Amino acid sequence: MFNLRNLLVLVLLCSFSSYVHAQKKQLTDAQYFENKLDDIVQPLPVVLRFEGDNAFVMMKDRKAYLVNALTGVMEEYKGKPGGNIEPSVKIKDHDIYLNDRRITSTTEQEKNPVLSPDGKYIAFTRNNDLYTYDIAASREIRITRDGSDVILNGYASWVYMEEILGRRSNYRAFWWSPDSKNLAFFRSNDSKVPEYTLTDDGGAGGYVEKLRYPKPGDTNPEVKIGIVAPNGGNIAWCDFNETDDQYFGLPYWKPDGKTLLVQWMNRAQNELKIWEIQPATGSKSLWYEERTNTWISLDDEGERLRFIDNGNLLLLSNNNGYNHIYLHHASGKRLNAVTSGPLMVEDILWHNTRDVIFTARTRVNSTRVQIFRASLNGKNVKQLTSSDHHHAQVNVSPNGKHITYTYGNAQTPNVLALLNEKGKVKDVHTSQSAGFNEYQLAQTEVLRIRSEDGKFDLPIRIIQPLNMEPGKKYPVLISIYGGPARNDVMDNWRLSGTQQWFAKEGLMQVILEHRGSSHFGKEGTDYLHHNLGYWEMTDYITQVKWLIANRQADPERIAITGFSYGGYLSAYALTYGAAYFTHGMAGGSVTDWSLYDTHYTERYMGTPQTNPDGYKKSSVMQYTHQYKGMLQLVHGLIDENVHPQNTIRLATDLQMKNKTFELMLYSGNRHGITGKQGIHHYNLKNRFIYEHLIQKPIPPSLLR
C-alpha cells in the first residue's frame, strides 16, 4: 500500500535528485555559440590505415603515431601519414600535371585525368572526347572524334552522374582494366533528351544555363559502351542496342582484366542483368539476373560485387527482403547465401577465400550498426561487437586479425577501440572529457512508436528540453530527409552547442522515421512503390500524435524541416498533413514528382503515363487548399538538380489561394545554399524558429 512513509521517501528522493541536477554546470556562451565543447567531449584520434596486421597509423592532435596493436605502445610515426607517395595526376590551371610535370597545354579544359594501373598512360576527357597520354613517349592519343554538346565520350550525361554513377564520379564515365590493356567507357547521346533552361541574375543581360535533363516519361540518353586499347585503334562496341529504353550501371572489370561485367537494367527498374563482355569483340553472355515486383537500385559506388582471390565473387542483393551477401562462382552461378534472415548488410569490409567481415544492422536493433564475421559457406555468422552501441569508422588489418572502430550511443560519447581475432576489445581512446559529468546536458531518447496499423515499430529520436515542467507544452522541431530506403534515426552520439542551446530554450528536437526507411527492408520500402508521400506522412502523423500524448508536445507548435526529399515532405506535411503540422521550413523541394528526373522518380513512381493517380496524389499542390500554418520556402535559383520551378509552382498555387507563406530565393546557388548566402540561410531558419516556435526575440549570439 502506498502510505505516508513511502510518500515522504519519494519526496526526499526527488528533492535530492533535483538538488544534484541543479549542481551541474550550465554551458557557457562559448560552448553554446562557438561549439567549444572540449571540456565535455574531444575529437577522437583518426585511424588512417593498418601497417601489417599488428600496427596501425593514427592521427592525434595533428601528429601521426604508430600504435602496436599487441602491446598498445604508441610512438611518433616517421613515415608519411598518407602512406607511400603514389604518382599524382591532377588538374592545375586547366591543364594536366603528373606530379610537377605538365602534361597538356591547351586552351580547352581537360577533365578527370586517371593514371592507368601500370602507370604508363593517363586517360582524360576534353570537349566530350576521350583521350589517353603515353607518358614514356610524351604522346597524346585521341580515342574518339565525335564529341559535341550532345555526344559525350567518357563523360556522363547529367542523369547518369546524379543518379547512377554518383556525384563522386564528377561525370567521369571511363574505367581502366586492372592489367591496363583496355579502357571501357560510356558514349552518351543526349540529342533526344529534353533541354531545361535555368535563369538567374547576371547583369543587364541576365544569366541563362541549359542542360539536358529528362523528366518522368521523357526520352533518356542513348548509351553505348566502348572498349579500346590505351594506344587507340578500333573501338569494340558492346553488344547492346543503344536505342533500347534501358540503363547501364557501374561496370566492373574482373581482376585479371580479361572480361568486363556490365550492369543492365530495364526502364521500369525492376529487372537487373549483369552481362559478361569480351573486350576484343564486345560480345556478351548473361552472368547474373534478378527481378522484383517493385524496384532494384543500381549500384553507384562499386559495392555490389567484391572479387575473391580464388576467382569467386561476393554479391550484395536485397532481392529476398533484406540486403544480404551471396557467394558466386566466377561464371556467375550462385553457390550459397553467406548471410540470411532479418539482417541488413551495410558494407563488406574485408574478405579472404574463407571468411568475410562486414557491417550490418539487425531488424530488432536497426538503429545501431554492428560488425560481423562469417564463413563464406554461410556458417559461423558471428556478431563481434556489443549490441549496446552503434559502431562506425571501421578499419580491418590486411589479414583480418585486428579491427579498429568507434562505438557509442545517444547517451555515451564515442570511444576508439581495437578488437583482436580472439574477440578481446581494448579501448584506445575516449572522446569523453574529464568534465563530462559536471555539465547539465539535454537528455536524448531513441525509442520506437508502433505504427497506426500495428505493423511497424517506428524509430524516433528525441532531444528533450532542459528542466521540463509538468503540464507545460513544448514546441517541436522535426528534422528529416525521409527518402525511400534511407535512415535518419540512428542511436549514435551527437553533441553540438546549437542543439543544447535550443534544448535550454525549451525546444523539443525530434527526428522521425517511416516504414519506407531502411529499417524494415523491402517489407517496408515496398509500401512506397507508386505511392510517395502517403505512408511517410501517415507514419509521421502517428509519431506526432504520440509526442502530443506522451511528451508534452504543443499541438499548436509542431514544425518540420528538411532539404531536397526532406523539403518535399516538409511541404507535404504543411498541406496534406496540415491538421497536425503547423510550421515548416522546406528547402530545395520537389513539389511535384513529374518535375524531377527520370531515373530517381520512375524507380519509385513509374511514369505519369503508367501511374497518373500516384503522381496526382503525391503532388504537394493537390493539397494546398488544406494549408493553414506557416511554411518557409527556400531554393537556389540555378539548382540544376531539383529545379526552382518546383518551389515557384507551389508558391504560385499558394498565392492563387490567397495563402500566407515565406519565400527566399538564393541567386547563384544550386542544390544547397553555400557561402555568405549559406550564413543568411542559417540565420533565416533560426529567426523562423524563434518567431514561430520559441516565440521570443532571437538572441544576437545565435546569429552568425
Residue 245, CA distances (Å) to 31, 267, 272, 296, 340 in order = 56, 6, 14, 16, 34
Mean pLDDT of 660-685: 97
CA atoms within 13 A of residue 257's CA, in its CB half-sphere = 16
Other Cβ atoms within 10 Å of 63 Cβ, number:
11
Helix (H, G, I), strand (E, B) or coil at 412: strand
| pLDDT tens digits for range 387-424 | 999 999 999 999 999 999 999 999 999 999 999 988 99
- 165 DSSP 8-state letter: I
Strand 89-92 relative to strand 95-98: parallel, antiparallel, unpaired?
antiparallel
Beta strand segments in 352-436, E = 355-362, 370-375, 382-383, 390-396, 402-409, 412-420, 425-430
Helix (H, G, I), strand (E, B) or coil at 664: strand
d(CA 638, CA 668): 6
| pLDDT tens digits for range 540-564 | 999 999 999 999 999 999 999 999 9
Listed residue (365, 366, 371) closest to 347, CA to CA: 371
Structure-block grid coordinates of residue 427 = 579501448
| pLDDT tens digits for range 125-176 | 999 999 999 999 999 999 999 999 999 999 999 999 999 999 999 999 999 9
Listed residue (703, 702, 688, 704) closest to 504, CA to CA: 702
Structure-block grid coordinates of residue 578 = 496540415
Residue 259 pLDDT class (50, 70, 90 cuts): very high
**Burial of residue 508, with CB atoms counted within 10 A of its CB: 0-12 exposed, 13-18 middle, 19 or more buried:** buried
Residue 1 pLDDT class (50, 70, 90 cuts): very low
507 CA to centre of own chain: 27
Residue 85 pLDDT class (50, 70, 90 cuts): low
Residue 547: φ, ψ to 5°? -60, -40
pLDDT value at position 4? 46
The pTM for the full model equals 0.93
d(CA 405, CA 418): 7
Residue 533 pLDDT class (50, 70, 90 cuts): very high
Contact 611, 601 (CB under 8 A): no
Give me the residue spans of the domains in the chain: 440-702
d(CA 479, CA 556): 17
| pLDDT tens digits for range 443-474 | 999 999 999 999 999 999 999 999 999 999 99
d(CA 445, CA 408): 14
In this predicted structure, the answer to whether residue 8 has a pLDDT above a threshold of 60 is no
In this predicted structure, the answer to whether residue 7 has a pLDDT above a threshold of 80 is no
In this predicted structure, the answer to whether residue 84 has a pLDDT above a threshold of 80 is no
Strand 662-666 relative to strand 474-479: parallel, antiparallel, unpaired?
unpaired
Beta strand segments in 93-154, E = 95-98, 101-102, 110-115, 121-126, 129-134, 139-142, 151-153
Which residues, other chains included, contact 92 with Cβ-Cβ below 8 Å and sequence gap of 6+?
none
% the chain with pLDDT above 70: 96
pLDDT value at position 211? 97
CATH topology of domain 440-702: Rossmann fold (3.40.50)
646 CA to centre of own chain: 23
Q: Which residue has the cell 584506445?
A: 428
Residue 298 pLDDT class (50, 70, 90 cuts): confident
Q: Which residue has the cell 547583369?
A: 203
pLDDT value at position 78? 87
d(CA 10, CA 1): 14
Helix (H, G, I), strand (E, B) or coil at 160: helix
Mean pLDDT of 527-535: 98
Strand arrangement of the beta sheet that strand 508-512 belongs to: 444-450, 457-463, 508-512, 474-479, 553-563, 583-587, 630-636, 662-666
Beta strand segments in 151-213, E = 151-153, 174-176, 183-189, 195-200, 207-212
| Mean pLDDT rounded to a whole number for the chain | 94
Structure-block grid coordinates of residue 340 = 540470411
Listed residue (216, 219, 211) closest to 195, CA to CA: 211
Listed residue (44, 39, 36) closest to 430, CA to CA: 44
Listed residue (584, 521, 500, 514) closest to 543, CA to CA: 514
Look up residue 239 and give its amino acid: D
Mean pLDDT of 243-257: 97
pLDDT value at position 538? 98
Give the total residue count for the chain. Answer: 704
List the beta bridge partners of residue 28. Answer: none
- For the CA atoms of 649, 653, 655, 656, the dihedral, rounded to the nearest 10 degrees, stands at 130
pLDDT value at position 6? 46
What angle do helix axes 534-550 and 565-573 make, rounded to 10 degrees?
Answer: 60
370 CA to centre of own chain: 18
List the beta bridge partners of residue 563. Answer: 587
Structure-block grid coordinates of residue 284 = 556478351
d(CA 384, CA 481): 31
pLDDT value at position 590? 98
Residue 300 pLDDT class (50, 70, 90 cuts): low
